[in-house]
Amino acid sequence: MQNILRTNFDGDPNIGLYGFASDSYCFTGAGRYVTKLKDTLKVPVHVVHFLNMDLAKIFCAGNSSGVAVPKIIDDFDREETEKLREHTRVISIDTNYSSLGNLILMNNNGIVLSPLLKKHRKQLESFFGVPCEISKIAGMSIVGSLGFATNKGCLLHPKVREKEKRMIEKILQVDADITTVNFGSPYPGAGLIANSNGFAVSEVTSGPELGRVTDVLGFL
């Protein structure tokens, strides 16, 4: 199917670490795969390399209205964050936790924020204009790795607690379900790049995993 891309990025199945997409754009450090991502996601794809690394998603999180980056990246790698500003709004978060992509789960409807970033809740709500709730997933704080959301669905770590799942569905306004990726990894945030138009998964994704992703993200 044209809206499903199965690939590894230079042999690495954790393609979700290399970029993220909204319904307006995609940012990635995997420059060789721009054309494939553009054909799949149906949005402009822009290449950024924070700290000379390809792992763009680790350092930022966003939705169709903008991107959040840690202040340390904005201060020391301004050239790359300026690339973001050429294509969307950017908010700089003054935090010691630079891996924002691992700590924020969001779509156009809402934000699920790690407890590690709770003091930035109001700042993010104001910038993105959507409600924000503090939560863990499966009792852990790395919600951006343990979950993955688009405007059509949300995938969660297999050990997510029912109370966490209900809250996530309410704040993101989509149905959520559990899955693994990459033939058994419980970190969907590391295994996917997706928006409402299509998604990319690794070549090692199993048939049942691919079926679950396709179903939950609304591509059946």
Identify the architecture of domain 4-216 in CATH: 5-stranded Propeller (3.75)
Query: pLDDT tens digits, residue range 48-68?
Result: 999 999 999 999 999 999 999
Neighbours of 158 (CB within 10 A): 12
Q: What is the mean pLDDT of the chain?
A: 97
Query: pLDDT tens digits, residue range 80-132?
Result: 999 999 999 999 999 999 999 999 999 999 999 999 999 999 999 999 999 99
pLDDT at 1: 56
Indicate the pLDDT class of residue 139, thresholds 50, 70 and 90: very high
143: left (phi > 0), else alpha (psi -120 to 50), else beta?
alpha
Instruction: Pull the structure tokens for residue 74.
Output: 């904005």
Instruction: Pull the structure tokens for residue 126.
Output: 């104001």
192: left (phi > 0), else alpha (psi -120 to 50), else beta?
beta
pLDDT at 133: 98
Spatial separation of the C-alpha atoms in residues 68 and 60, rounded to whole Å:
6
| pTM confidence score | 0.97
Give residue limits of the domains in the chain.
4-216
Spatial separation of the C-alpha atoms in residues 189 and 186, rounded to whole Å:
9
Indicate the pLDDT class of residue 173, thresholds 50, 70 and 90: very high
Spatial separation of the C-alpha atoms in residues 149 and 12, rounded to whole Å:
21
Strands (DSSP E) contained in 11-168 are 19-21, 26-28, 45-47, 61-63, 66-70, 90-93, 104-106, 111-113, 132-134, 147-149, 154-156
pLDDT at 220: 84
